[in-house]
Amino acid sequence: MTTGSNQDAAATFDPLRPRLIRIAYRMLGSVADAEDTVQEAFLRWLDADRDAVREPEAFLRRIVTRLCLDHLKSARHRRETYIGPWLPEPVVETADDEIDDVTLPLMLALERLSPLERAAFLLHDVFGLGFEEISGTIGREPAACRQLASRARDHVRATRTRFQLPKERALQIANAFFAASRGGDMQQLQSLLAADVTAYADGGGKARAALQPIVGRDNVLQAHAVLAQIFAKDMSRIVRYGFINGLPGFVTVEQGDILQTTALQIQDGKIAAIYVMRNPDKLRHLAPHPTPDLGSHAVH
C-alpha cells in the first residue's frame, strides 16, 4: 500500500536521481535508456510502502540495477544486429570537470561482460558498495558477487588506467588532430598517430560511417586523405572541445548538418584510438537541451 504523498516521495527521490542515472548509464551505455530506467524506478517508488523502507538510496539502487539487468537481456540481441561498430552514447565534459574514471574504452570493455559481471563490477569497483548489498541487489550470494567482480576486473584491467596527460596537453592534441585531419595535413596527422591506431565510427545505419574499424596508421591516414577532400568543400564547424566519456576530443557539425563527436584515446603521447559518434539517435541529448547529471556535462 502506498504511504505518504507524491510530493514526499519526490522530495526523497529527486536528490538521488543524478546518482541513479549515473549507475543506469554505466550499465546501459545509453542516456535515454538510463533516464527511462530511473523514471520507471520513480514510478515504483511511488507505489512502494515507503514507510517500510529504512534506506531509500539502497532500495532505489536495487530497483535501478534490476531494471538494467532486465534491459540488458534484450539489448544484447540488439547489439548483435547493430549496423557497424557500437559505441556508447557520448557524454561531454568540460576541462574544469573531474575526468570520469569510467572512460569510453572501459565502457566498451564492460560490453564484453555478462550483465551480472557488469553489475557486480560497477557497484563494487566504481560505486564502492559492499558485497552484502550487491548480493541483495542481483540475487547472488556475497561470495558469488565477489567472484563476479573479480572476473570482470580481470577482463577490464587493461582499460582501467586513468587519464595520465595534463588536461591542457590532451586538448592540445585534440586541437592538433582536428587541424591536421580537416586541413589535409597528412604529415602532421601521421606524427600524431600511433602505429597501431584504430578508428571506430558509429553511424548505426542512420549516418554514413565505416562499417568496420579501420586498423593501422597507414589505413587511418588513407581514410583521412579521402575525408580531406570532403572537408575542403564543406569544412567541419567546431561546437566545442572537451572530454568525451573521459577522453579528449571535440564536438562538430559536419557536412549535411550532422552533429558528431570525436574522442581520442592517447597512449605514450600518441593517438591510439579514434572514436567517432555519428548516429543521430545517440546525439539527441547533446543539443539543444543539456544532458542530465551523469557525472559529466553536455554541450550547451
Q: How confident is the model at residue 124 (pLDDT cuts 50, 70, 90)?
A: very high
Rg of the chain over CA atoms, in angstroms? 21
- Which range of 27-41, 101-115, 276-290 scores highest in mean pLDDT? It is 27-41
- Looking at per-residue confidence, does 89 or 73 come out higher? 89
Q: Where in the chain is the domain with CATH 1.20.140.160?
A: 6-159
CATH 1.20.140.160 describes domain 6-159? yes
Confidence of residue 297 (pLDDT cuts 50, 70, 90): very low
Q: Where in the chain is the domain with CATH 3.10.450.50?
A: 167-286
Q: Spell out the residues 6+ positions from residue 2 whose beta carbon is closer than 8 angstroms to its own.
A: 46, 47, 48, 49, 50
- CA distance to 128, 179, 251, per residue, from 235 (Å): 45, 11, 14
Average pLDDT over residues 241-256: 93
Local structure of residue 122 (DSSP, 8 states): I
Cα 125-128-130 angle, rounded to 5 deg: 100
* N- to C-terminal Cα separation, the chain: 42
Statement: residue 238 has pLDDT above 70 = yes
Q: How many CB atoms lie within 10 A of CB 256?
A: 8
Q: 154-205, pLDDT tens digit by residue?
A: 988 867 655 578 889 999 999 999 999 999 999 999 999 999 999 999 999 9
Q: Which residues of 270-290 are buried (b: 16+ CB within 10 A; e: fewer)?
A: bbbbbbbbbbeebbebbeeee
Average pLDDT, rounded, for the chain:
88
What's 167-286's CATH class? alpha beta
